[in-house]
Amino acid sequence: MVRYELPKLPYDYDQLEPFIDTETMKIHHQKHHQAYVDGLNKSLEQVGSASHPQYISSILSNLKSIPESGQSAINFFGGGFENHRLFWETMTPNSDGKPEGKLEDSFDVYFDNFENFKKVFSEKAIAIQGSGWCWLVFNQTYNKIEIITTPNQDSPWILQKIPLLGLDVWEHAYYLKYQNKRPDYVKAWWNVVNWDYVENRFTELPV
Ligand code: MN3
């Protein structure tokens, strides 16, 4: 039976300072992410082990394959688990500031340039009503990158889109340091994006 565990952070809690504060990182990882892990394991137990032989991203891509009684909880907790797992990986204390290579080329093609991509992404993230995520995803149908937003813990996988980079704009992600100033949080977050990691995800897409 698959049991999910809280993934370790690839850096210490205080290493994203001053952009993301230590206290927020601790609570976000140890309390919020842990709650998604626990909720996911419990939800999967409730639908029975035969229903979930695959990794959570595959389950989310085909939610209808699990019993209807569990779909809502697995959408929420599974999305919460996988969204945060990726979120930690796509941040680093040693950000190189901008992408290179094939990903940079794609920004030029689909967003004119990297600076404009950041502008559009930031605007969409700031405009999300309530809790949700802003994403850079790969659209497999049209073979292109795009920006989408999702409410709550909805994952791009449920839309059959591959998440490359995601920004958590739930208040728990920024309220201790930034209070109601979400735009300041979004602006600060660009300083810790791990473009090496995002580029590798993009380069290794199964297409
Ligand atoms: Mn969160």
pLDDT tens-digit profile of 90-124?
Answer: 999 999 899 999 999 999 999 999 999 999 999 99
Distance 2 CA to ligand 1 centre (A): 23
pTM of the complete model: 0.96
Q: Which two tokens stand for residue 131?
A: 């809790």
Distance 32 CA to ligand 1 centre (A): 6
Q: Which two tokens stand for residue 65?
A: 């394959």
Residue 207 has pLDDT above 80, yes or no: no
Which of helix, strand or coil describes residue 66?
coil
Q: Which helix (H) or strand (E) holds 178?
A: helix 175-178
Each residue's pLDDT tens digit, 4-54: 999 999 999 999 999 999 999 999 999 999 999 999 999 999 998 666 778
Residue 146 has pLDDT above 80, yes or no: yes
Look at residue 53 in the predicted model and tell me its pLDDT.
75
Which of helix, strand or coil describes residue 137?
strand
Distance 13 CA to ligand 1 centre (A): 15
Q: Which two tokens stand for residue 190?
A: 């660009």
Q: Contact 2/40 with Cβ under 8 angstroms? A: no
Distance 131 CA to ligand 1 centre (A): 9
More confident residue, 73 or 65: 73
Distance 168 CA to ligand 1 centre (A): 6
Distance 28 CA to ligand 1 centre (A): 6
- Can you tell me which residue has the tokens 């035969």? 50
- Nearest-5° angle of CA 155, CA 152, CA 94? 65
Distance 31 CA to ligand 1 centre (A): 10
Distance 26 CA to ligand 1 centre (A): 11
Distance 75 CA to ligand 1 centre (A): 15
Alpha helices in 28-96 (DSSP H): 34-47, 56-61, 68-89
| Axis-axis angle for helices 101-111, 195-203 (nearest 10) | 90
Look at residue 17 in the predicted model and tell me its pLDDT.
98
Identify the structural domains of the chain with CATH numbers, from first to last. Answer: 22-89 (1.10.287.990), 101-203 (3.55.40.20)
Distance 105 CA to ligand 1 centre (A): 30
- Can you tell me which residue has the tokens 């794609």? 106
CA dist list (Å): 55 to 103, 138, 165, 173: 26, 19, 19, 25
